[in-house]
Chains A and B, each alone.
Chain A
Amino acid sequence: MEKELIRFENISKSFDSTDVLKDLTLSIHENEFVTLLGPSGCGKTTTLRILGGFEMPDSGRVFFDGMDITSLPPNKRQLNTVFQKYALFTHMNVAENIAFGLKIKGQDKSMIREKIAYSLKLVGLEGYEKRSPSSLSGGQQQRIAIARAIVNEPKVLLLDEPLGALDLKLRQDMQYELIRLKEELGITFVYVTHDQEEALTMSDTVVVMNQGRIQQIGSPEDIYNEPQNAFVADFIGESNLLDGIMVRDCLVNIGGLDFPCVDTGFGTDNPVDVVIRPEDVELSSSGEGQTKGRVISIVFKGVHWEMHVESDIGITFLVKTTDHFPVGSTVGISVDPYNIQIMHKPVSEDAQVYGQDESSEGEGYEP
């Protein structure tokens, strides 16, 4: 793991007596692509704004490269932001927008011109210097906003839902574009989004947040395959979220039927949450499997079929498969032990997130 660059230490923040962030602690490393992911109102944008210097935390401190920057104004920080709606200066042309930060630093004109040309080339908009921002499409404005930020050579680039206003195709293109940019620049990206697909595609590390607390920190694979709690499992992708009882290590009882699994350390006869991804439920037409079920609906989704299967153990599974089974047909249902993810049941809402914070740290994210 690279050197730590940013550290949030016990950050709390509330607006009008609503707690937005509760005791948030987070480390971000050099050259890392970190995504803060969560539903609206989870505190992800506030976290980014605290890092950018636009909000002061009520308590806690922010460190940048070992220095306390909690009360440093935004213009003194070595980071730049790409704002949600781009926030381009509408009364200036593209070149003036990009030159804004360089002019303040007092760089000389030929140098500024070179840097403008270079940054426009980086975002694929060479020759757009004289254009007015309002004459550009959303995707182009987005690129100008990125060029305006990176031309200042920040150590960290903050991106606040930068693709939110773009259409699907453009959004997917921009995801690859951002990955390429990050590799070319070799700087840290802190990215905020509510779109789990974006988070999984681009990030080195995903920070899942809800109600002002971190739910889980991990690589995209970890977050998807090993959700720490029901919220993460439910928010990232689709899932069958089931009640179960951990009979003993590596055996869980769901709806009266024992399923072998690979998780240990949940005690014996303890109630647990169980996650099975829809693509991990295996169906067979022969009716053989751990249990049987009846197909009650089927929808064509392009790459796969999406079905609801009512099983004999009283649970309706959401299933994604490339095989087609007609509605009403009887199928066998089985799940590979590796694909059953066991999670602690929350004791209360606060205890849930708090306990999970500790366990996610305990599992060795901290370097």
Chain B
Amino acid sequence: MKSRGILGKIYIFLVMLFLYSPIAVLVVLSFNNSRSRVVWGGFTTKWYRVLIESKSIMEALGTTFILAILSALFASILGLFGAIGIYSMRRRNYRIMLFCTNIPLLNADIVTGIALLLWFVRFLPLGFSSVLLAHITFNIPYVILCILPKLKEMDVHQYEAALDLGAGEAYAFVHILIPHILPGVLSGFLMAVTMSMDDFVITYFTRGAGVNTLSTLIYGELRKGIKPEMYALSTILFFVVLILLILVNLPYERMFSKRTIKKKVNIEK
């Protein structure tokens, strides 16, 4: 038993090592006061300063955030209605629609990127708007998948009860349905922000000249040789996405613990 415990720990340690040591090295290098990748030249934050002073990087950062927020916002609204529509379908159509929703998730990014590019070059000039449209497109499925479980959890009769008590459909939607699925909408929104910030391939294909997000900028810079400020940038990106992921997962856990407490109270009665 004991040896198995030790082996298990070693196994976990190795997994963690392979998964996270490259990122750890990246983070360490971003504070390295030397251009070398193997020599530790002392602690510095100068790469972060260089980063902030670089106009192209700051521009890309702005684009990335605006793109993430806007695309997540539109995707949340569209996904909300999509999820409600899919949820209210009868069994067969429900499955078909859910399948259609899942295709873009599983589809290779490069295929989605090229496919969108083909459409965009025909109908609108490549630029910020085409990237935004592309991001909205691949974000919608994430939002739908975050909201659907919340809808399933909810007792549909609550909505009907609201109508029964004299509420119009819009009133019941805002006062009954929305409060129930809001956690799902929020986690869908955060998920979409994460996915938008995370994306490289689709952005790369659908952006026009001059539009750069952080990921396409880093890629462009890397071709000229790796600069230490890129380590700093990657470190920032990593932590932002990490924090977002924690936020996405947090509400679920909180609600779960709340619910178990309530259940306990009921049993005690």
> A: which residues have CB within 8 A of B?
16, 52-54, 73-75, 80-81, 83-85, 87-91, 100-101, 104-105, 134-135, 137, 148-149, 152
Contact = CB atoms under 8 A, between A and B. Distances in A.
Nearest to A54: B160
B157 A83 contact: yes
Contact of B161 (A83, A91, A134): A83
B164 interface: yes
Could you say which interface size class chain B belongs to? 20 to 34
Given A134-B262, A137-B266, A75 B160 contact: no
Contacts of A74: 160, 163-164
Interface in B198-234: none
Given A134-B262, A135-B266, A104 B90 contact: no
Contact of B262 (A83, A89, A135): A135
Interface of B: 90, 155, 157-158, 160-169, 171, 176, 179-180, 262, 265-266, 269
Most chain B beta carbons < 10 A, residue from A85, A100, A135 = A100
14 contacts: A16-B90, A52-B160, A53-B164, A75-B167, A80-B164, A84-B157, A90-B158, A91-B179, A101-B165, A101-B166, A105-B166, A148-B165, A152-B165, A152-B166
**Chief secondary structure at chain A's binding surface:** loop
A84 B156 CA distance: 11
B139 to A, nearest CB: 27
A270 B265 CA distance: 64
Contacts of B158: 87-90
B163 A87 contact: no
Nearest to B165: A101
Nearest to A74: B163
A52 B163 CA distance: 10
Going nearest first, the 9 A-B pairs with the smallest beta carbon separation are: A101-B165, A87-B157, A87-B161, A74-B163, A83-B157, A104-B166, A91-B179, A81-B164, A75-B166
A152 B166 CA distance: 9
A100 B157 contact: no
Contacts of B161: 81, 83, 87-89, 148
Given A148-B161, A148-B165, 18 more contacts: A16-B90, A75-B166, A81-B161, A83-B160, A83-B161, A84-B157, A87-B160, A87-B161, A88-B161, A89-B161, A89-B176, A90-B180, A91-B179, A105-B166, A135-B262, A135-B265, A152-B165, A152-B166
B16 to A, nearest CB: 40
A54 B157 CA distance: 10
Given A75-B167, A84-B157, A85-B155, A100 B262 contact: no
A195 to B, nearest CB: 20
Nearest to A52: B164
A152 B161 CA distance: 13
A16 B56 CA distance: 59
Nearest to A101: B165
Contacts of B180: 90-91
Contacts of A54: 160, 163
